[in-house]
Amino acid sequence: MNTDFITLEEFCQMTGYKKNTVYTYLRRKDKGIPAYHFGRLIRFKRSEVIEYINTTTKKIEYAA
């Protein structure tokens, strides 16, 4: 299994969050951001980030 980890900067680019927002969300367990700590480093699995984005994004339907 390929564990493709990304950095905090890459996570911010994918989600549109600012770094301070990510740090706040990581402290709040209810946000459910999937993160892994390697000492002081924070990494995210790309596949879990994509799943997180898909489950937290609101779907907008337009009336025809």
Q: Which domain holds residue 44?
A: 5-56
Nearest to 7 by CA among 39, 46, 33: 46
Q: Is residue 61 part of a domain?
A: no
Q: Which pLDDT value is given to residue 62?
A: 67
Task: Quote the CA–CA distance of 62 and 30 in Å, as a whole number.
Answer: 30
Q: In what order do the strands lie in the sheet with 41-45?
A: 5-6, 41-45, 36-38
Give the pLDDT confidence of 2-59 residue by residue, as tens digits.
Answer: 569 999 999 999 999 999 999 999 888 777 888 999 999 999 999 999 998 888 877 6
Q: Which two structure tokens, joined as six digits, stand for 11?
A: 């996570």
**Cβ atoms 16, 54 nearer than 8 A:** no
Do the domain assignments include residue 62? no
User: What domain count does the chain have?
Assistant: 1
User: Is residue 63, in this structure, part of any structural domain at all?
Assistant: no
- pLDDT at site 1: 42
Tell me if 16 is assigned to some domain: yes
